[in-house]
DNA sequence: CTGAAAGCGCTAACAC
DNA sequence: GTGTTAGCGCTTTCAG
């Protein structure tokens, strides 16, 4: 790689000192209009790029924020990242994205990498395997600003952006009940995640409120992918005598996996089995019948998380952890609109 | 943020010099076993993290590679990024991902950002708007290793990983022809992209080979999203007298957009209109009828691109641009299996 | 308004 | 085997 232009090159060329160049490039008001123009013109001509590495080392500030998500291939996270970038770029920060691939070990490595990269703060949505939290405590001890979003870690004192999973699950199940479904099952997320627990509680609470049975075998804790939904559905459909008449999935992919198995079994959606999901990913509109799903404003969640983090980075003194509770609405589609 | 442990802290504590610490941490054979152990033990105990910023500045080497993609929300790119990370991490590199959001200006900004971050090399899949290439020439001039993947820039001399779009389109259209479709339309990608042109050429060549008409109005150049597919389909279906009996989409999303409109119009897929896509994203298996699609090994494409780039970074002397042509197979599903 | 000098944390010649 | 020294590119006192 070619030797890049530095501030020294510009200084030499103009017979001024590097410090003046540095100031001129930053439009420092103490520098004369003339020099500022000269310097900036030459910088432009030589296509000078500041070495952010050197700036970071000098200022002990990287203007970079790290993001750890389970998988960017999940639409929710891809959108959330775009939301994070939106706020970050506008505030002059870059974003480094790491995937934990839902692995606890990988997540620990990610935090170490980001620590070494000296990011100014970290946004995390924890992996489904994460039950230990020592790696987050390390961040706390180093006083690295830290904000959790969507999949949070309760034990750690930090700002959090969470979705109102309990209420949303409650509303979704209540909708199923209003549509006349009475034997409602739940394909839940991985047990360690708070989000799984809350969605499950909301489901149970709605059933109880309406005097419907809470059948233990009708809750199946699984992962977050289509395959997980398929497996769970197979179990739920196994015994025709004790079969649910509706399924509430922890997310859209799981709900869609269930739909595929239901259709394969020759059962009608929504007349014989209703299905509802969570997230409202694009795929929910495409599958047939279209999937009823609780909308999660992923882009906004990302923006909110980034805003909290940047505030914390920029005014660390009067910092108090804040928890933002986000909600949205249920998007009702054909998968729960049965004919009675 | 708390003052982090540095090499100096360790040196002071053990009454040795910083350079010895540096060497000991790297298992330099010149250092005695005893000091190595002492140093590493203390580093461990203090939870020392090397400051990669300082290392990068010193070595003019960041062990980071930059990636510019149009959108991580596209499954293809999310998978490709995972492939890139797979190779990069194993070789000791970090990955910074930038999204151009299909905007030329944003892509230019991305290249500047990566330049300032002093990444060791850059992987690019160009935006649909990109027709000027000056920003890539800048990279060339600075001798920043550069590899294009999937959406390449022909004019720039650089390594490229491309999919055999021509052959794949040809094979897909030939499959449609074999299934008895005779009035085959094409919803193409944005005109400036080489990939759009190649897939279109493959489509035309297959029609010609089998003596089928090449109707100009049956090719509609559009974007890459479901909405684009819907719009194009509306045009294609407008005149019942001159309606195609099959549609080959430039990717799955566009094909799915078309399917939605076809179904809305009350036409049967595949009997009245056959549909084929490209990429084989998960959604292809979920839509009804399931979508025939040419498989693109996105993860592998990412891995190949990363491998080429890292080779170029690590042996810049004997470097010659290489073009890797990847292919795969057509996954036939219900959307083209008509009853005759 | 500008320059000189010091130093961010680390590494690599060069000494001994 | 280990220490000394210099410097990566930049910013920021301090001086004038």
Query: In DSSP terms, which residues pair with B69 in a beta bridge?
Result: B99
Q: Which comes out higher in pLDDT, residue A176 or B317?
A: A176
| CA of residue B23 to C1' of nucleotide C12, angstroms | 10
| Cβ–Cβ under 8 Å, residues B41 and B77 | no
CATH code for the part of the protein at A62-163+298-326: 3.40.50.2300
A165-296+330-336, CATH topology level: Rossmann fold (3.40.50)
Nearest CA in chain B to A313: B1
Alpha carbon separation from B260 to A51, A265, B231, B252, B263 (Å, rounded): 50, 24, 11, 12, 5
Place of tokens 């549509």: A179
Mean pLDDT for B37-65 is: 96
Helices (H) and strands (E) in chain A, counts: 13, 12
Tokens encoding B34 = 């005893």
Residues B122-163: tens digit of each pLDDT: 999 999 988 899 999 999 999 999 999 999 999 999 999 999
Tokens encoding B94 = 């970090």
Query: Based on the number of CB atoms within 10 Å of its own CB, is A35 exposed (0-12), middle (13-18) or buried (19 or more)?
Result: middle
| Cβ–Cβ under 8 Å, residues B99 and B128 | no
Query: Cβ of A25 < 7 Å from strand D?
Result: yes
Q: What is the mean pLDDT of chain A?
A: 95
What nucleotides of chain D have any atom within 7 angstroms of a protein Cβ?
1-5, 7-13
Please give the pLDDT value at position B318. Answer: 83
Please give the pLDDT value at position A222. Answer: 87
CATH number of the domain at B7-50, out of 2.40.160.40, 1.10.287.610, 1.10.260.40, 3.40.50.300?
1.10.260.40
Percent of chain B with pLDDT over 70: 100
Please determine, for residue B21, whether its predicted confidence score (pLDDT) is greater than 80: yes
Place of tokens 């290439």: B133
Please determine, for residue A340, whether its predicted confidence score (pLDDT) is greater than 80: no
Percent of chain B with pLDDT over 90: 95
Please determine, for residue B220, whether its predicted confidence score (pLDDT) is greater than 70: yes
Q: Which comes out higher in pLDDT, residue A131 or B66?
A: B66
Please determine, for residue B254, whether its predicted confidence score (pLDDT) is greater than 80: yes
Q: How many CA atoms lie within 13 A of A125 on its CB side?
A: 29
Please determine, for residue B230, whether its predicted confidence score (pLDDT) is greater than 70: yes
Mean pLDDT for B50-63 is: 96
| SS3 (DSSP) at B34 | helix
| B7-50 shares its CATH topology with B165-296+330-336 | no
Please give the pLDDT value at position A316. Answer: 84
Mutate to test the interface with A, among B44, B72, B102 (most CBs of A within 10 A): B72
Is the previous residue joined to B122 through a cis bond, with omega within 30 degrees of 0?
no
Please give the pLDDT value at position B290. Answer: 96
Q: Please, which residues 151-210 of chain B have a Cβ atom closer than 8 Å to chain A?
A: none
Strand A292-295 relative to strand A330-331, pairing: antiparallel
Residues A151-173: tens digit of each pLDDT: 999 999 999 999 999 999 999 99
Please give the pLDDT value at position B250. Answer: 97
Q: Please, which residues 62-91 of chain A have a Cβ atom closer than 8 Å to chain B?
A: 62, 71-73, 75, 78-79, 81-82, 85
Identify the band that residue A136 occupies on the pLDDT scale cut at 50, 70 and 90.
Answer: very high
- Sorted by sequence, the CB contacts under 8 Å of residue B54 that are 6+ apart come out as A57
Please give the pLDDT value at position A8. Answer: 96
Backbone angles phi, psi at B65, to 5 degrees: -120, 140
Q: What is the mean pLDDT of chain B?
A: 95
Domain boundaries defined on chain A? 7-50, 62-163+298-326, 165-296+330-336
DSSP state of B181: -
Judged by C1' against the alpha carbon of B49, the nearest nucleotide is: C9
N-to-C CA span, chain A = 71
Please determine, for residue B265, whether its predicted confidence score (pLDDT) is greater than 90: yes
- pTM for the structure as a whole: 0.95
Identify the band that residue B340 occupies on the pLDDT scale cut at 50, 70 and 90.
Answer: low
Mean pLDDT for A22-45 is: 96
The alpha carbon dihedral of B13, B15, B18, B20 has a sign of negative
Please give the pLDDT value at position B316. Answer: 84
Please give the pLDDT value at position B1. Answer: 81
């Amino acid at each position: 790689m070619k030797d890049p232009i530095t501030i020294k090159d510009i200084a030499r060329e103009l017979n001024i000192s590097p410090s003046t160049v540095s100031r001129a490039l930053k439009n420092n008001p103490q520098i004369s209009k003339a020099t500022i123009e000269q310097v900036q013109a030459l910088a432009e001509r030589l296509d000078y790029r500041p070495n952010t590495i050197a700036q970071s080392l000098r200022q002990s500030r990287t203007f970079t924020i790290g993001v750890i998500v389970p998988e960017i291939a999940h639409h929710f996270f891809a959108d959330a990242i775009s939301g994070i970038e939106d706020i970050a770029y506008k505030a002059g920060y870059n974003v480094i994205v790491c995937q934990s691939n839902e692995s606890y070990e990988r997540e620990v490595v990610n935090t170490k990498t980001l620590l070494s990269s000296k990011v100014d703060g970290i946004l995390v949505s924890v992996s489904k395997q994460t039950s230990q939290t020592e790696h987050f405590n390390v961040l706390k001890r180093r006083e690295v600003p830290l904000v959790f979003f969507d999949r949070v870690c309760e034990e750690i004192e930090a700002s959090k952006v969470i979705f109102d999973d309990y209420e949303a699950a409650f509303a979704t199940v209540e909708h199923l009940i209003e549509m006349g479904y009475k034997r409602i099952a739940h394909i839940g997320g991985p047990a360690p995640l708070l989000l799984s627990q809350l969605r499950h509680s909301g489901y149970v609470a709605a059933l109880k409120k309406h005097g419907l049975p809470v059948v233990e075998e009708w809750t199946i804790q699984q992962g977050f992918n289509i395959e997980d939904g398929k497996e769970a559905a197979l179990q739920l459909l196994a015994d025709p005598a004790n079969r649910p008449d509706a399924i509430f999935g922890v997310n859209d992919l799981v709900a869609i996996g269930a739909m595929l198995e239901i259709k394969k079994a020759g059962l009608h959606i929504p007349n014989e089995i209703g299905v509802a999901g969570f997230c409202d990913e694009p795929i929910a509109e495409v599958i047939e019948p279209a999937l009823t799903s609780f909308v999660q404003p992923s882009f906004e969640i990302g923006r909110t998380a980034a805003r909290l983090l940047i505030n914390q980075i920029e005014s660390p003194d009067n910092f108090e952890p804040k928890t933002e509770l986000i909600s949205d609405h249920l998007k009702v589609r054909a998968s729960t609109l049965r004919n009675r």
